[in-house]
């Protein structure tokens, strides 16, 4: 089959064997995959990644023939847990230390014609959700994770710092929970730079999703004493902020990664969040390298690949 392949910080289409299908796994034909900022980070050397990237997808199960999933349209949770260790037994499979991660760590990803995943990772996509919408299940689940981590409700004054794809999803998710949400961010393409004032100590909750080391010092300025910063960054490398500011104001910082799929699918099915406006462009898989360059441009939202 054909797949996008990253090697030594280069992206190119490559002919690779079909995925192997161990017991309990399904073979999924990819209908479409979405390019995530994490894919761009992997291409720059994050995790010393080499292989097929991609972890946002919608597909159809086509094997093995005895699977109860055959023919179903699915999305899939991206963490492949060992299901045997202490964390898995405690119900924290997403934090299994032996986990593989679809298209990120030790398991070939979704920017390909086919992929394999454990059947336990699959979720059927309700008919009300289009293929393009279903592509947003994984990042929307990552946004919903916030509601699993901290209390958000009516009266929560929240700011989302970073107006990218995940920032826009998080804004909508926080609003479904009753929060009053302000989007704050670096100037977008075409807007005058340096004009935006940072509100000081004005928010109960600041979600830092700029993907930049400069985001955290700004979030610390924006959050009130004893407030919470939800840290959803793809940045890796040394943090750049003053420890004292965080301690003196007794700020809580909560790291946040992947989330459960069912709440995200439910929000999409009930049309409580709108994702159509986040679609930027669609490319055939054969032009995946070009699509990666497009996705890397400032201000470009979701770029979709179709095998």
The residues binding its own copies (CB under 8 A) are 87, 92, 95, 97, 149, 201, 213, 216, 225-226, 231-233, 235-244, 246-257
Q: Which CB, 104 or 112, lies closer to its own copies?
A: 104
**What is the nearest approach in angstroms of its own copies to the Cβ of residue 260?**
13
**What is the nearest approach in angstroms of its own copies to the Cβ of residue 194?**
23
Euclidean distance between CA atoms 293 and 113, whole angstroms: 20
**What is the nearest approach in angstroms of its own copies to the Cβ of residue 216?**
8
Q: Which CB, 94 or 186, lies closer to its own copies?
A: 94
Q: Which CB, 112 or 142, lies closer to its own copies?
A: 142
Q: 221 near 200, Cβ under 8 Å?
A: yes
Q: Is 39 helix (H, G, I), strand (E, B) or coil?
A: helix
Q: Kindly report whether the peptide bond that precedes residue 64 is cis, defined as omega within 30 degrees of 0.
A: yes
**What is the nearest approach in angstroms of its own copies to the Cβ of residue 252?**
5
DSSP result, 175-208: HHTT-EEEEE-SPPTTSPTT-PPPPPS-EEEEEE
**The two structure tokens encoding residue 29:** 């034909």
CA atoms within 13 A on the CB side of 39: 32
**What is the nearest approach in angstroms of its own copies to the Cβ of residue 243?**
5
Q: Which CB, 30 or 101, lies closer to its own copies?
A: 101
Q: Which CB, 150 or 280, lies closer to its own copies?
A: 150
Euclidean distance between CA atoms 16 and 111, whole angstroms: 12
Q: Which CB, 224 or 269, lies closer to its own copies?
A: 224
Q: Which CB, 73 or 95, lies closer to its own copies?
A: 95
**What is the nearest approach in angstroms of its own copies to the Cβ of residue 46?**
8
| Beta bridge partner(s), residue 7 | 10
For tokens 């959050």, name the residue.
223
**What is the nearest approach in angstroms of its own copies to the Cβ of residue 199?**
14
Euclidean distance between CA atoms 71 and 146, whole angstroms: 33
DSSP result, 203-235: EEEEEE--SSTTHHHHHHHHEEEEEEEEE----
Burial class (CB in 10 A: 0-12, 13-18, 19+), 69: middle
């Amino acid at each position: 089959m054909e797949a996008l392949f990253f090697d030594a910080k280069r992206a190119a289409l490559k002919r690779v064997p079909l995925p192997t299908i161990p017991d309990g796994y399904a073979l999924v034909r990819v209908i479409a995959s979405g390019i995530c900022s994490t894919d761009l980070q992997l291409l720059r050397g994050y995790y010393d990644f080499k292989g097929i990237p991609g972890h946002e997808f919608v597909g159809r199960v086509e094997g093995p023939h005895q699977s109860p999933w055959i023919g179903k349209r699915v999305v899939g949770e991206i963490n492949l847990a060992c299901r045997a260790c202490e964390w898995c037994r405690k119900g924290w499979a997403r934090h299994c230390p032996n986990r593989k991660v679809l298209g990120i760590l030790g398991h070939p990803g979704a920017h390909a014609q086919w992929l394999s995943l454990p059947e336990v990772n699959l979720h059927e996509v309700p008919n009300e959700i289009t293929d393009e919408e279903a592509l947003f299940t994984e990042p929307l689940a990552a946004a919903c994770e916030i509601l699993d981590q901290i209390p958000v409700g009516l009266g929560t004054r929240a700011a989302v710092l970073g107006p990218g794809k995940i920032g826009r999803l998080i804004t909508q998710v926080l609003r479904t929970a009753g929060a009053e949400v302000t989007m704050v961010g670096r100037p977008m393409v075409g807007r005058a730079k340096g004009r935006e004032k940072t509100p000081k100590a004005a928010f109960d909750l600041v979600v830092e999703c700029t993907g930049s080391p400069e985001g955290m010092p700004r979030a610390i300025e924006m959050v009130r004493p004893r407030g919470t910063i939800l840290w959803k960054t793809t940045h890796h490398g040394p943090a750049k902020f003053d420890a004292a500011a965080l301690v003196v104001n007794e700020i809580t910082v909560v790291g946040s990664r992947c989330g459960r799929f069912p709440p995200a699918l439910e929000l999409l099915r009930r049309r409580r969040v709108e994702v159509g406006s986040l679609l930027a462009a669609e490319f055939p898989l054969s032009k995946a390298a070009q699509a990666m360059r497009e996705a890397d441009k400032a201000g470009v939202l979701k770029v979709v690949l179709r095998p």
